[in-house]
Amino acid sequence: MYLKRWRKIRAEAAKHAMEYEQEQEWYMQNGLQLNPDKFEALFTGTATQLRAVSSLTSVSVADVDLPVADSMRVLSVTLDRRLTFDNHTSAQTLACSLILSRNDYCNPVLYGAPSGTIQKLQRVQNNAARIVLQAPRRSDVNSLLQTLHWLPVAVFTQLTVTVTENPN
């Protein structure tokens, strides 16, 4: 069973090596150059599959030894061996995607809304900033927002309306 799995892994590695060599050839034909020193390998799979390759510290691809990484960033997304995205989901990422995206949704509609509505949304943003920065409840919210480069809700609403009305 182990030998069969190992052969499959080696076959996959050989396939990827061939694809890499074809890609490298395309780059060279088009006057571009790959820097193999900036590449790394990432094995993904189930726990059982990853145990089978746990002893590998590097992979040889096109005569270049690539180090095996535990995680890597691809297009601003951190991928890990089990594709759990644990390294990618920070408190700030969650706050921005779950809370602030809802505050930003249809932001121009909030322009001219009662101050009570804006204050409720501002409290949500303030609490999100405290959570992200792990700040005490009584900390200065304006400095927290500034640290995160977040505009207050009223200011952001005004800016959105201004930019929408005057795109130039």
- Domain assignments of the chain as residue spans, ordered by start: 2-80, 91-165
Which residue do the tokens 């571009």 mark?
32
Residue 4 confidence class, pLDDT cut points 50, 70, 90: low
Q: How far apart are CA 162 and CA 122, in angstroms?
A: 20
Which residue do the tokens 């969650």 mark?
94
- pTM for the full predicted model: 0.47
Residue 39 tokens, joined: 């590449």
Please state the rounded mean pLDDT for residues 143-164. 86
Q: How far apart are CA 26 and CA 31, in angstroms?
A: 9
> Which pLDDT tens digit goes with each residue over 78-115?
777 777 766 666 666 777 777 777 767 777 778 888 88
Q: How far apart are CA 145 and CA 166, in angstroms?
A: 26
Residue 12 confidence class, pLDDT cut points 50, 70, 90: confident
Q: What is the pLDDT of residue 54?
A: 81
Residue 128 tokens, joined: 């999100």
Residue 5 tokens, joined: 């799995």
Q: How far apart are CA 48 and CA 14, in angstroms?
A: 21
